[in-house]
Structure 1
Amino acid sequence: MKALFLLFPLLLISESVVCAQEANQVIENQVQTLLSQMSLEEKVGQMTQIDFSLVSVANGQDVENPIDIDKLEHAILNRHVGSILNTPTTPNNKAQPIAKWRNMTQAIRDLTAKTRLKIPVIYGIDAIHGATYTQNAVLFPQAISMAATFNTDLSFREGEITAREVKASGLDWNFSPVMDIGRQPLWPRLWETFGEDVHLVSAMGSAFIRGHQGDDVAAANKAATCMKHYVGYSYPLNGKDRSPAWIGERALREYFLPSFEAGVLAGSPTVMINSAEVDGIPGHANYHYLTEILRGELGFKGFTVSDWEDIIRLHTRDKIAASPRDAVKVAVMAGVDMSMVPLDYSFYDLLLDLVKTGDVPMSRIDEAVSRILKVKVQAGLFELKQPALPVEGNFATEDAVAINRQAAEEAIVLAKNANHILPLSKHASILVTGPSANLLSVMNGGWTITWQGSAEELYPQDKLTLLKAIQQKTSGQVTYVGGQRFSDEINIEQAVTQARNHDVVVLALGENTYTETTGNIDSLELDPVQLQLARAIFAIGKPVILVTFGGRPRIITELAEQAQAVVLGFLPGMEGGVAMADILFGDVNPSGKLPITYPRATNDITPYDHKPMEAFELNQYRPLYAFGHGLSYTTFETSDLKIQQNRISLGESIELSVKVKNTGSIAGKETVLVYLNDEVASVTRPVKQLKAFKKIELEPGQQETLQFTLTAQDMSFIGLDMKRIVEPGEFKVMVGDETAQFTVLKN
């Protein structure tokens, strides 16, 4: 048995820390003073979040002023609600003009200013890849595609731009980012994650939070974030949304908690709770996760909010509560601070009764409300009398669009390029076909303009689909055979006839838009009609460029083996069509890397950081494309991997360097991935784990030496006693084709 080294955080006292403590004490005093003046009804109201439809006129989507003032007064003056979410008229919610948003939220602020204690409502919205519910907002690649950039600076900038456009819309609070880890490719919310790797999810997610909130979340151009969905939601056993996960304590701590801990450290003040269950305990009833771990271990100080109707579902669906009243008690006592009820006032009424009868102690109410009030104070909502930002200069700016274009370019993964068929000649004659070739929706996915993202008619007409971008890019003949909707039947005979008359075929396949349970599928296989089209095209022998869009790695093995090139688009956002065309014709050199393992077969789901037994004897790790895979139009070489010390003591960090050279003929961007393996340990360790990465741009022939630091935390794992430890022994570092070893000594 090896000696163990326990990792404890070091408390560093500095002047800045003291100042922060003093500021926190001022906020705490303000909150406690306010809390002491509140009635029970006002407190319970703060814990209640309602959908906008409860204060909307009928058909509120279609009127300039959708607020029913009598309903709003009832919500705020009689029920004292602390939060409102969503767009008018659920479930047909859709993006609103920015002026309408500003008028709606201003009416809410004006009314709260007339209340006894003037406590502001915090308005929440799902702005998961930009201000998705504000018309003409800058909509970025979805998280799975942002992860493919391996560019934390872009994630930071996305956070900045999203916060600015949310605040310009008059809104306060963003239900983003998803900090779940995406290791179940069937799951219909995979694309909302930053991929399968712990370090990548933590790095990209925390960068987004820092950009969105800045050093002062109360600043006019910053807004509060909400991490979701804590915890284990993303790993359903059967792949279906809102279904059970089986996650042991060690796996929970090794894979699923670290990204949320990173988000806590980045300063996210709110957490949305897992809508499903882990090991038989629904997320909204899990005291161990919500209180003992989230607060006791991770140090979270903000407030938790339920997901849609999930408290009442403890009774109606999960059957762990005998009545709606019991469901409210279970959830609140487990650690739920705010209930997304959201379509009635049942939570308010039931919780009020529970407190009056002594079934829920006033101390728990005060605890929850103080957390909510603290976030509202920190976010500057008490001082906010009108929308924080003017629209001019803060919404859909040229700079924001340019950043979005760069993100889309860096998100696209060139997976195959046989005989350097790409880039294409701008004089080539091209047949474009397939269901995803002429739609904006398939490049954006769910939570885009509408909940499911499928209302193509609402997408901005000035943005280009892949087809239109190709048509603008080339002087060669471009012919399109396809439909106007994803489900439209494509005339295969016509497509084949046209293919014979063109130099090359761009075959655009993939998925229609979806999110949540609507996106549940039984297999990762492509739709049979897409396979039928593809097989007919391949049969004539013309060169085929396979392009895919969608939120999951649908199985394309048969097609990828026949295609001359494969380009994986996933969900590159509103600039995805232009970015893809720029890559196909060589105006942009691709640099995306896969943030997930792309499976070869629908049931061959093995992540890159698998255990040794998963690639032992007859078992194989043989994906179609591995995590981190991504080609370029140039070539890169890593060399001279050096470790500063090959022997260190427990608790010490290690410095390493590696040279990277562009050995090709054009400039390009390369992501250098640093993996680590603990060669022998008391708990089986993955064959490798990503611990650091850097993205650089090099000119032809240019070489750069990169420096990395691996800390004791990077060398640690969850030991036999469920505590994070480092054990002495041999470690292997892997960068490109280079490897190096070092030893951690006993103290």
Structure 2
Amino acid sequence: MNVTKSLIIGWLFTGLLSCHSASQLDIRTEVDSRVVELMSKMTLKEKVGQMTQLTIGSMSNKKVKRHFGLPITLDTAKVRRYIVEYGIGSVLNTGRFAHTKEQWNELIGYFQKLALEDTKNGIPILYGIDAIHGTNYTVGATLYPQQVGLAATWNPSLVEELAELTAYETRASGIPWTFSPVLDLGIDPRWPRIWEGFGEDPYLTAQMGLAMQSGFQGDDISDSSRVAACIKHFIGYSNPRSGKDRTPAWIPERMMRELFIPPFKEAINQGATSIMINSGEVNGIPVHANYDILTKLLKKELNFSGLVVTDWYDIYNLVERHHVAVDRKEATKMAINAGIDMAMVPNDIEFADCLTALVNEGEVPMSRIDDAVRKILKLKFDLGLFDSPLTDFKNYPDFGSDKHIAKAKEGALESIVLLKNDNDILPLSKRQKVLVCGPNSDNMRVLNGGWSYTWQGQMTDQFAKEKLTILEAIQGKVGHDNVLFEKGVAYSKGKYWKDEIVDMKALESAAMNVDVVVACIGENTYTEKQGDLDDLVLSVNQKELVKLLSTTGKPIVLVINEGRPRIIRDEVKLSDAVIDVLLPGNEGGEALADILYGDANPSGKLPFTYPSYTNDLIPYFYKYSEASPHADGSEYNDPFIKSQWPFGFGLSYTKFKYSNLKIDKEEYGANDVISVSVDVENIGDRGGKEVVQLYSSDLVASVTPSVKRLRKFEKLYLNEGESKTVFFELPIKDLAFVDRNYQKLIEKGDFKITVADQSTSFNVSETLVVEKLQDWRL
């Protein structure tokens, strides 16, 4: 199907809501009035249609196989049936792989033309996409580090800026809605989607999530350079007992309230416009069918008034995976009555037929339908889609620009974490001869991870062929004559999650002819179920590669390129330096080369605890008893916490000294605010960035406290010899915990604040309930 450009241009409206210059209250009143007026004209079928979201693949011509670089071929009869006859409210996805911005505009323009011209009420389509590290489904867009890499920057201002650039390029593609950010806690490194989130800590996740959401949405999502964000996945998705994707989680309510809810609560309070639901089950109940979580917790307790959308196929999964519904009709009833507003169906129209029948039979109340449709229409009005249903890519001159690419490289530079640097082997001299090897050495795919041009990222090398791999970036830095290359181990083309030995003899021979070896190991791309692991230990072949290199006696710089921490304790021992680049995006190769050769100073810090053993997967906020021997007189004093590197760890090419940690008094009331100051000095020989991290410790509590919790942080740059005093304001209420009655409590007693090697103690003089007990249980 081809839609002429002239046809599309006719739908490139430039007007915005006439009330944009008025107060936000006036805007809200006008939008509400327009929603009410429109709903009064809608039939049940039209309302149910608005609650239906289909993938663009369901509208494609299945007989025409889409090839690389070619646009999707639509089945126009299907498109008309779904949009005109059923009035579906939303379309998502790409139809196999990325489009150009011109193709996106043509496709979405065609959908909008049908929706606005050929339906009774002219309701525009809400198009959604997983723009999670840049507009990663648009050819030529700027790709940034994945969320785990952004978390490693510990720089919310930078994250907000990168999200703003992502929104700009997403709107250039004609798309107003992104399924991002992920606010799931990455507390289990076995879970394959850990790299899609901001690490293991709820405070760090909340701060980064707020920054990303703010960058996406700005102050006004109808702005043609902003998009609606969709926070996900509510809730408890990231803590399955098996460590595998979409498998059951068992999470006590105290743990849920203490750790998992806070990032979502912060995002909701800041103005989250939509939220996606956890595909799995929590405590035996699928979240998509859990009225207590979706309505009582999310909508009533947390006061979320935005759009609640399912994840992929998850209403039908109530039948096929969870076995709590006998058929799709019963599953639809359960999910809609639980609180779902829009179903990511995504492949057929059966959901709409089932829901219409359920309303007519009295099984789903009309009030539930109206509530859902009101939120869908409100989001469309807020986005300005009724007045400007499609943005024109020609109005976005900075799409994929050098300015955006420079910011992507800045993000990559700050996301890279230096974990070991014995004898200051790094930075390398540009005069040294270097061997670059390993499966991740000459591969753009691994630098980006999943959700890159395709779902699993398998075509990134084709889409990003002009970008530099690690090998190419090093060659560009020091010249081809100074670089030897032997992969040694490569990823299998058939089973991309496996690797195979290529030529170890050639690798050994090459290593004997260089001054230093840069071994690039880690993971290939994956996401969701495709990333499930049976073993967190690095592959046998990659272990053999490092072991062989160590026998040559040449210094080894180990570059880890991964979406989650793989067990590498043996390889760390054999290496002189270790750098974790995580998933830095298209500019990651150049960023790493800059750091390797000292043109940039690493400043990333781990957003998770890096485990050393597969049975020691413990986040940093463990309990005192987990690190204390039994007081029975035994001689067993082996340390219980054996992490490879702790949460928040990361080295620099310079050194920072902390001193003079001070608080304004020794005793505080429950409503007081602690004023904290600490001096930080760069005592090294070059400028660098440092993340100042403030932790609190509750020394005695009625519910066992964690040894410490992150409460504040700030990233700052210090020149050589420069010193600054860093100030924090810490409300005592921020130290509250969820007690045995499930209420949030600040309890009187002794506390400690720690910043680096500095600590000080204080007392809280009174007990105060910060949030009262709910009259219901999760």
- Fold in common (TM above 0.5): yes
The CA deviation string for residues 662-710 of structure 1, in whole angstroms up to 9 with x for no partner, is 0001000000000011111111111000011000000011001111011
Matches within 5 A, 1:296-445: 296-387=300-391, 390=394, 392-445=396-449
The CA deviation string for residues 305-332 of structure 1, in whole angstroms up to 9 with x for no partner, is 1111110111122111122111000000
> Which residue identity is paired with 1:45?
G
The CA deviation string for residues 469-502 of structure 1, in whole angstroms up to 9 with x for no partner, is 0111114621000179523532111111111111
| Map of 2:517 onto structure 1 | 505
> Which residue identity is paired with 2:482?
Q
Q: Residues of 1 paired with 2:525 and 2:488: CA distance?
A: 16
> Which residue identity is paired with 1:425?
S
The CA deviation string for residues 260-314 of structure 1, in whole angstroms up to 9 with x for no partner, is 1111122221111100111001010111111111111111110111111110111
Q: Residues of 2 paired with 1:510 and 1:416: CA distance?
A: 16
Decide whether aligned partners of structure 1 residues 396 and 484 sit closer, same or farther in structure 2, where only a CA change above 3 A counts: farther
| Count of residue correspondences | 727
The Cα of 1:118 is off from its aligned counterpart by 1.1
> Which residue identity is paired with 1:632?
S
| Map of 2:280 onto structure 1 | 276
Q: Secondary structure at the match of 1:227?
A: strand
| Map of 2:125 onto structure 1 | 121
The CA deviation string for residues 416-459 of structure 1, in whole angstroms up to 9 with x for no partner, is 00000000000101111100000011111000011000224423
Matches within 5 A, 1:245-644: 245-387=249-391, 390=394, 392-475=396-479, 477-482=482-487, 486-487=491-492, 489-617=501-629, 620-644=640-664
- Alignment RMSD, CA only? 1.5
Contact 1:50–1:341 (CA under 8 A) maintained in structure 2: yes
Q: Residues of 2 paired with 1:712 and 1:743: CA distance?
A: 10
Q: Residues of 1 paired with 2:733 and 2:99: CA distance?
A: 45
Q: Residues of 2 paired with 1:690 and 1:478: CA distance?
A: 43
Q: Secondary structure at the match of 1:426?
A: coil
Pair 1:87 & 2:87 matched:
no
The Cα of 1:64 is off from its aligned counterpart by 4.3
| Map of 2:79 onto structure 1 | 72
The CA deviation string for residues 207-233 of structure 1, in whole angstroms up to 9 with x for no partner, is 000011000011010000111111000
| Map of 1:11 onto structure 2 | none
Q: Residues of 2 paired with 1:423 and 1:570: CA distance?
A: 19
| Map of 1:98 onto structure 2 | 101
The Cα of 1:604 is off from its aligned counterpart by 1.0
Decide whether aligned partners of structure 1 residues 52 and 702 sit closer, same or farther in structure 2, where only a CA change above 3 A counts: same
Q: Residues of 1 paired with 2:305 and 2:550: CA distance?
A: 57
Q: Secondary structure at the match of 2:47?
A: helix
Q: Residues of 1 paired with 2:443 and 2:269: CA distance?
A: 39
Q: Residues of 2 paired with 1:657 and 1:111: CA distance?
A: 60
Match of 1:137 among 141, 149, 152: 141
Q: Secondary structure at the match of 2:61?
A: coil
The Cα of 1:19 is off from its aligned counterpart by 4.5
The Cα of 1:186 is off from its aligned counterpart by 0.5
The Cα of 1:528 is off from its aligned counterpart by 0.6
Pair 1:151 & 2:169 matched:
no
The Cα of 1:731 is off from its aligned counterpart by 1.4
| Map of 1:705 onto structure 2 | 725
Contact 1:106–1:387 (CA under 8 A) maintained in structure 2: no
Pair 1:214 & 2:218 matched:
yes
| Map of 1:683 onto structure 2 | 703
Q: Which has the larger displacement, 392-401 or 428-437?
A: 392-401
Q: Residues of 2 paired with 1:456 and 1:653: CA distance?
A: 49
Contact 2:490–2:502 (CA under 8 A) maintained in structure 1: no
Q: Secondary structure at the match of 1:627?
A: coil
Q: Secondary structure at the match of 2:735?
A: coil
> Which residue identity is paired with 2:377?
L
Decide whether aligned partners of structure 1 residues 56 and 239 sit closer, same or farther in structure 2, where only a CA change above 3 A counts: same
The Cα of 1:172 is off from its aligned counterpart by 1.5
| Map of 1:44 onto structure 2 | 48
Matches within 5 A, 1:129-208: 129-208=133-212
The Cα of 1:53 is off from its aligned counterpart by 1.7
Q: Residues of 1 paired with 2:721 and 2:225: CA distance?
A: 42
Contact 1:286–1:334 (CA under 8 A) maintained in structure 2: yes
Identity between Structure 1 and Structure 2 (%): 44
Pair 1:109 & 2:112 matched:
yes
Decide whether aligned partners of structure 1 residues 286 and 606 sit closer, same or farther in structure 2, where only a CA change above 3 A counts: same
The Cα of 1:390 is off from its aligned counterpart by 2.8
Q: Which has the larger displacement, 475-484 or 608-617?
A: 475-484
> Which residue identity is paired with 2:341?
D
Contact 1:440–1:459 (CA under 8 A) maintained in structure 2: no
Contact 1:438–1:484 (CA under 8 A) maintained in structure 2: no
Q: Secondary structure at the match of 2:579?
A: strand
Q: Secondary structure at the match of 2:255?
A: helix
| Map of 1:10 onto structure 2 | none
TM-score norm. by structure 2 comes to 0.92
TM-score norm. by structure 1 comes to 0.95
> Which residue identity is paired with 1:330?
M
The Cα of 1:536 is off from its aligned counterpart by 0.8
Q: Residues of 2 paired with 1:120 and 1:259: CA distance?
A: 32
> Which residue identity is paired with 2:114?
L
Q: Secondary structure at the match of 1:725?
A: strand
The Cα of 1:22 is off from its aligned counterpart by 4.0
Q: Which has the larger displacement, 409-418 or 736-745?
A: 736-745
Q: Secondary structure at the match of 1:116?
A: coil
Decide whether aligned partners of structure 1 residues 65 and 307 sit closer, same or farther in structure 2, where only a CA change above 3 A counts: closer
Q: Which has the larger displacement, 190-199 or 18-27?
A: 18-27
Q: Residues of 2 paired with 1:25 and 1:289: CA distance?
A: 30
Contact 1:226–1:268 (CA under 8 A) maintained in structure 2: yes
The Cα of 1:69 is off from its aligned counterpart by 2.4
The Cα of 1:543 is off from its aligned counterpart by 0.5
Q: Residues of 2 paired with 1:554 and 1:457: CA distance?
A: 24
> Which residue identity is paired with 2:51?
M
Q: Secondary structure at the match of 2:732?
A: coil
| Map of 1:654 onto structure 2 | 674
The CA deviation string for residues 487-527 of structure 1, in whole angstroms up to 9 with x for no partner, is 35321111111111111111110001100001101111111
Q: Secondary structure at the match of 2:571?
A: helix
Contact 1:221–1:388 (CA under 8 A) maintained in structure 2: no
| Map of 1:6 onto structure 2 | none
Q: Secondary structure at the match of 1:182?
A: coil
Q: Residues of 1 paired with 2:316 and 2:726: CA distance?
A: 53
Q: Residues of 2 paired with 1:465 and 1:341: CA distance?
A: 38
> Which residue identity is paired with 1:575?
E
Contact 1:147–1:194 (CA under 8 A) maintained in structure 2: yes
Q: Residues of 2 paired with 1:649 and 1:520: CA distance?
A: 48
The unaligned stretches of length 5 or more in structure 2 are 1-19, 493-499, 630-636, 768-778
Decide whether aligned partners of structure 1 residues 640 and 512 sit closer, same or farther in structure 2, where only a CA change above 3 A counts: same
Contact 2:751–2:763 (CA under 8 A) maintained in structure 1: yes
> Which residue identity is paired with 1:232?
G
Contact 1:677–1:688 (CA under 8 A) maintained in structure 2: yes
| Map of 1:665 onto structure 2 | 685
Q: Residues of 2 paired with 1:732 and 1:590: CA distance?
A: 30
Q: Residues of 1 paired with 2:440 and 2:628: CA distance?
A: 39
The Cα of 1:389 is off from its aligned counterpart by 5.1
